[in-house]
């Protein structure tokens, strides 16, 4: 299985989510199942079916996080350079056509969250920017169409 690259912050968030799922959420869903079972006939018990479905989702997410954590590679932020774009860098890029400037953080796939301007190295813009230097112009085929960006800044 391929290594998952995470920042220290991303690792902490995953570990915290895992802890909540294992302690709080498991207990909550077990209580829901117990209450639903007290209603009697399980064959026509919507509350029981819903609680069991929720249990399956929680257990699936726990397994997914544990698998990720077994194959994680923590980004060494101390050795991070700013000569070329890599995971862990913050970048400033400008849309050549619109002039819009974006401040983005390059992260691994598991940490990507565009609402927080964290883009994955595997996203269209992220993959186009990887390895580039300040002044380069990159082409990205995004869901909104083909876009050209100029790399304005690379920082830690």
For the residues 132-143, what does the mean pLDDT come to?
A: 94
Edge-to-edge strand list for the sheet holding 137-142: 118-120, 101-107, 90-95, 145-155, 137-142
pTM of the prediction?
A: 0.73
**pLDDT score at 138:** 96
Task: Tell whether the model's pLDDT for residue 7 goes beyond 90.
Answer: no
Summarised one tens digit per residue, pLDDT across range 86-127 is 999 999 999 999 999 999 999 988 899 999 999 999 999 999
- Average pLDDT of the chain, as a whole number: 92
* Residues with Cβ within 8 Å of residue 117, at least 6 apart in sequence: 102, 103, 104, 105
């Amino acid at each position: 299985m391929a290594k998952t690259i995470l920042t220290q912050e991303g690792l902490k968030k995953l570990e915290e989510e895992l802890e909540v799922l294992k302690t709080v959420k498991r207990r909550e869903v077990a209580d829901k199942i117990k209450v639903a079972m007290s209603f009697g006939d399980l064959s026509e018990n919507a509350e029981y079916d819903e609680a069991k479905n929720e249990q399956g989702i929680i257990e699936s997410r726990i397994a997914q996080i544990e698998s990720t954590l077994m194959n994680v590679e923590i980004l060494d932020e101390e050795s991070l350079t700013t000569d070329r774009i890599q995971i862990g860098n913050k970048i400033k890029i400008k849309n050549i056509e619109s002039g819009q400037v974006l401040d983005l953080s390059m992260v691994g796939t598991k940490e990507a969250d565009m609402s927080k301007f964290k883009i994955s190295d595997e996203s269209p813009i992220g993959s186009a920017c990887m390895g580039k230097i300040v002044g380069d112009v990159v082409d990205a085929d995004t869901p909104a169409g083909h876009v050209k960006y100029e790399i304005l800044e690379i920082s830690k």
